[in-house]
Amino acid sequence: MSKRLLDVHICELPKISDSNLPKLPPNARFYARWKRNFQKIFLVSVNHPLTQNFLRSLAAIAFEKRRHGRSSTWWVIHPCSNLRYYWDFLMTFTYLYMFIAIPYILAFQRVAKSSGPESWNPVHPAYIICIFDIVLNFITGFKSRDGHEIFLDPFLIIRHYMKTYFLIDFISSVPYVWFYKDRILPPGPNSNSILLIFELLPVLKIFRIYTLRFYIQQIIANFTISHSEEKAIWLIVLVLLIFHWYSCVTHIFPFIVAHITGVTKENSDMYLITTGLYKKSDSDIYLVYCHIGINVSFVFKSVQSAAEPELKYQRIMHQVKEYIHEKKLPENLKKKLIAYYEYRFQGSYFKERAISRTLSSHLNQEIMIHSSRGLIDTATILHSLPRNVIGYLMGILRPVIYLQEDIIYKSRTEGDCMFFIISGTVALITFNGKEICHEKDGGYFGEAALIFPDQRRLESVIALERLENVAKQRYKQINELNFSSKDVNLETSTLIEKENIAENAHQVGDTKVSVNNQDYIERGTLNVNKEN
């Protein structure tokens, strides 16, 4: 038994207080002990679902506890503390209750039926909770935008809250019926419709929908639920809320218009009033409006299907922005990534590969030739090639997009492809930094990698503007395509090096394939590097 224990590494970290607060002497007073226990709920908690997002190790959590607990602002609530988590849990259901109750009471009770202020009584407890929430928000820390730092300074907390949700929270958390006990009179000349302004102010609480989203995400993080399931739960909650709000807005809208115009119910020609629908029970009216909302959603679905490529593009761009936020990319890299996707998809997205698989090879070739007509028109090297060769070339070329100042490849590196420029400009630069030449629309470069596979690149290439080109890789080979032509000579003897340019730059660049319109052959062979 002892021998087996010797084979085990027996070691443990020194035991310290979980709160990392200074230890109290055995004869400490009751107030000191109470303060220490009370202070623990203000500190960061390892059990908080978002702690791992900001503090990645136990050492970082311990340091944060010491920094907070031993500071003069120990009374500030840490955003990842147990107290804040349980309060956010309470506010989740408070927001849900207010998002449902306030629009319903306003639309179906106060305005439609001119009920008294006692109809707001079920919401008064939620108002009190929201007032306490305002107080707690003034003493709760917040994280920076990039999530790298948590601020616990009271002055910064107050300034941050005043700039964000304070005004909305304050206006929407005041029970205005405490200051007046009047009914909302029916529309007409004698209506007290000015009170509608105060009645509508609590509806501003709906702007906290993003906070509700964050709280729900925080609660779900405690369970083993995938990201897609979490998204589905939120979408279900959001759709139900939208249908509820739609029903309330549809019911209250005719009365709001009647109050503004001063028309009485008897003289109104609105469908809701003329049919007497508002006189029916609330449940019947609610079901009618939900049914109308479902029908409207089907109409929106039809419109959405017509704009599916654009909507898919917007979803992709949203995912790209979420990726940028997750990776915390700098501003210049963020702009480059967004610019790339905007140029790549041009405002719409569709599954090109899935479509091309259903087409015949001949039809795919015709489409590729047509879509590559810009390259065929500008690239003089392709002008005299037969159509079947051009079609084959277009099928093996790979589209590539580079942004301004992107390095396409560097000198003295191995190359496996050449490039044809569809649009844009590149600069060919020697290893010593001297410019050889520019290549523009219809140009090509890097062809030496196909002809001389063992030779390294002799120049660097940089995009001077946004560049769209296609790459021909070595393993995408053309095996002895025979064709007859009187205008093309692509034999190896016709390869001309840019010696006159390279000599001035003291560096030899890639070789160029020349089209010789004066030499004629009856039968030629295009054989580009048979090696894989």
Residues 214 and 78 in one domain: yes
State how far the Cα of 187 lies from the Cα of 216, in Å rounded to an integer.
Answer: 40
In a domain, 365, yes or no: yes
Residues 253 and 308 in one domain: no
What is the C-alpha end-to-end distance of the chain, expressed in Å? Answer: 63
Domain-ending residue, one of 330, 350, 370: 350
Domain that holds residue 413: 358-476
Helix (H) or strand (E) holding 229: helix 227-261
Where residue 326 sits, what CATH number does that domain have?
1.10.287.630
Q: How many domains does the chain contain in total?
A: 3
Q: Dump strand ranges (E) for 247-316.
A: none
Phi, psi at 368, each rounded to 5°: -65, -40
Residues 79 and 101 in one domain: yes
- Helix segments in 173-226, DSSP class H: 195-200, 209-220
- What does the pLDDT look like over 152-176, one tens digit per residue? 889 999 999 999 999 999 999 988 8
Residues 162 and 125 in one domain: yes
**DSSP code for 277:** G
**DSSP code for 362:** H
pLDDT tens digit at each of 532 positions of the chain: 444 444 544 555 454 556 566 676 677 676 667 677 777 888 888 788 877 777 766 777 777 888 877 777 888 888 888 899 999 999 999 999 999 999 989 888 888 777 788 888 999 999 999 999 999 999 998 887 766 778 888 999 999 999 999 999 999 998 888 888 777 777 767 777 778 888 889 999 999 999 999 999 888 888 877 777 788 888 888 888 888 888 888 888 877 877 777 776 666 656 556 556 556 666 666 676 676 667 666 666 665 565 566 667 777 788 888 888 777 788 888 888 888 777 777 666 666 666 777 777 777 777 777 767 767 777 777 777 787 777 777 777 777 778 777 888 888 888 878 888 877 888 898 888 888 888 888 788 888 877 787 788 888 888 887 666 666 554 444 443 443 333 333 333 333 333 344 444 444 434 333 333 333 222 233 333 333 3
Residues 83 and 188 in one domain: yes
Which pair of structure tokens corresponds to residue 85? 């988590």
pLDDT score recorded for residue 515: 34
Residues 48 and 167 in one domain: yes
Residues 71 and 147 in one domain: yes
State how far the Cα of 126 lies from the Cα of 97, in Å rounded to an integer.
Answer: 8
The dihedral over CA atoms of 71, 77, 82, 84, expressed in degrees to the nearest 10, equals -170
In a domain, 195, yes or no: yes
State how far the Cα of 288 lies from the Cα of 251, in Å rounded to an integer.
Answer: 10
**Is 291 within 8 Å of 283 (Cβ atoms)?**
no
In a domain, 328, yes or no: yes
In percent, the amount of the chain with pLDDT more than 90 equals: 14
Estimate to the nearest angstrom the gap between the alpha carbon of 215 and the chain centroid: 19
Which pair of structure tokens corresponds to residue 301? 């679905």
State how far the Cα of 358 lies from the Cα of 342, in Å rounded to an integer.
Answer: 27
pLDDT score recorded for residue 529: 35
State how far the Cα of 488 lies from the Cα of 514, in Å rounded to an integer.
Answer: 9
User: Which residues make Cβ contacts (< 8 Å) with residue 19, sequence separation at least 6?
Assistant: 36, 39, 40, 43, 65, 69
Mean pLDDT of the chain: 73
The dihedral over CA atoms of 311, 317, 319, 324, expressed in degrees to the nearest 10, equals -170
- What does the pLDDT look like over 361-399, one tens digit per residue? 777 777 777 767 767 777 777 777 787 777 777 777 777
Cα angle 272-275-279, degrees, rounded to a multiple of 5: 75
Residues 237 and 345 in one domain: no
Residues 70 and 22 in one domain: yes
Estimate to the nearest angstrom the gap between the alpha carbon of 45 and the chain centroid: 29
Domain-ending residue, one of 437, 452, 476: 476
pLDDT score recorded for residue 384: 76
Domain-ending residue, one of 427, 458, 476: 476
Cα angle 376-377-379, degrees, rounded to a multiple of 5: 65
State how far the Cα of 331 lies from the Cα of 257, in Å rounded to an integer.
Answer: 47
In a domain, 509, yes or no: no
Residues 71 and 203 in one domain: yes
Residues 335 and 414 in one domain: no
Residues 133 and 86 in one domain: yes
Radius of gyration of the CA atoms of the chain, in A: 36
